[in-house]
């Protein structure tokens, strides 16, 4: 059976301007591969309501699960919650359960639960909260979309809360062989191998450093015996 599919949406001008290098995509990609959920697409869009709403609608319709990262803090440029609510045509407002989490936290720390901080309690109707063990302000799940923070430590903690609630498929197994020959030399036999194992994904990733060049051949699949068989053939071909 095919694995469930997923997409990721990264929201933030700071990624697109090159100020910040995103790390959440790579983290999520590895976690989903371990879980047996196929990450099929990621998008990065700017802090623009139309861009966010449009991307949420497109990805939620095309894939089983969508993960978003960024734009759920207290400042004026944090507009993700409103945009996701709009994408599903759902009302959004300050919710008592989210407000209670924040109130308890700020009471403990002695800070004021002011208007800006209250923005973080704005949750679309019917959404389930996602626990934030790092800085309390919750993410949320609405339909098949999980809305999470952009700060890596918080994003990673929220992913850890969400993943156990999802049904994964077969984890993708992978084996790699490093071959120190030009891709152009190995491409022919490699294409034959790929044709003989249609259920596997066989990728060739060239490298070149310090005068040594070649390619890492990665064989991926859900069936360990097939991956083994293809890797044995590959090793014999280029022994």
DSSP code per residue over 102-167: HHHHHHHHT----HHHHGGGEEETTPEEE--TTT---EEEETTEEEE-SSHHHHHHHHHHHGGGS-
Angle, in degrees to the nearest 10, between helices 224-237 and 183-196:
140
Per CB under 8 A, 99 contacts a second copy:
no
Per CB under 8 A, 178 contacts a second copy:
no
Select from 36-44, 92-100, 125-133, 230-238 the region that touches a second copy (CB under 8 A): 36-44
Taking the complex as a whole, the smallest distance from the CB of residue 196 to a second copy amounts, in Å, to 12
- What is the C-alpha to C-alpha distance for residues 226 and 221, in angstroms, rounded to an integer? 8
Per CB under 8 A, 146 contacts a second copy:
no
SS3 89: coil
Taking the complex as a whole, the smallest distance from the CB of residue 126 to a second copy amounts, in Å, to 26
Taking the complex as a whole, the smallest distance from the CB of residue 56 to a second copy amounts, in Å, to 14
Taking the complex as a whole, the smallest distance from the CB of residue 91 to a second copy amounts, in Å, to 22
Strand partners, 53: none
Per CB under 8 A, 64 contacts a second copy:
no
Per CB under 8 A, 77 contacts a second copy:
yes
Per CB under 8 A, 32 contacts a second copy:
yes
* 16: CB partners within 8 A, 6+ apart: 44, 45, 46
Considering only CA atoms, which of 104, 54, 129, 119 is closest in space to residue 84?
54
Taking the complex as a whole, the smallest distance from the CB of residue 9 to a second copy amounts, in Å, to 10
Print the binding letters for residues 187-226 with a second copy: x by CB under 8 A, - otherwise. xx-xx--x------xxxxxxxx------x--x-x------
């Amino acid at each position: 059976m095919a694995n469930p599919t997923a997409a990721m949406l990264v929201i933030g001008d700071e990624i697109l301007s090159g100020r910040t290098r995103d790390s959440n995509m790579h983290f999520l990609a590895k976690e989903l591969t371990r879980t047996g959920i196929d990450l099929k697409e990621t998008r990065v869009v700017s802090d623009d309501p139309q861009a966010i709403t449009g991307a949420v609608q497109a990805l939620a319709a095309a894939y089983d699960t969508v993960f978003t990262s960024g734009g759920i803090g207290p400042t004026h440029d944090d507009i993700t919650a409103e945009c996701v609510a709009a994408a599903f045509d759902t009302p959004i407002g300050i919710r008592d359960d989210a407000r209670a989490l924040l109130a308890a936290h700020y009471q403990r720390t002695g800070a004021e639960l002011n208007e800006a901080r209250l923005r973080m309690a704005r949750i679309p109707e019917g959404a389930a909260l996602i626990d934030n063990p790092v800085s309390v302000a919750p993410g949320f799940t609405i339909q098949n979309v999980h809305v999470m923070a952009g700060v890596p430590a918080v994003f990673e903690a929220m992913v850890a809360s969400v993943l156990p609630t999802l049904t994964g498929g077969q984890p993708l197994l992978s084996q790699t062989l490093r071959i120190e020959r030009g891709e152009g030399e190995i491409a022919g036999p490699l294409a034959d191998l790929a044709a003989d194992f249609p259920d596997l994904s066989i990728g060739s990733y060239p490298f070149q450093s310090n005068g040594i060049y070649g390619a890492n051949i990665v064989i991926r699949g859900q069936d360990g015996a097939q991956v083994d068989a293809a890797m044995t053939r590959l090793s014999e071909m280029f022994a």
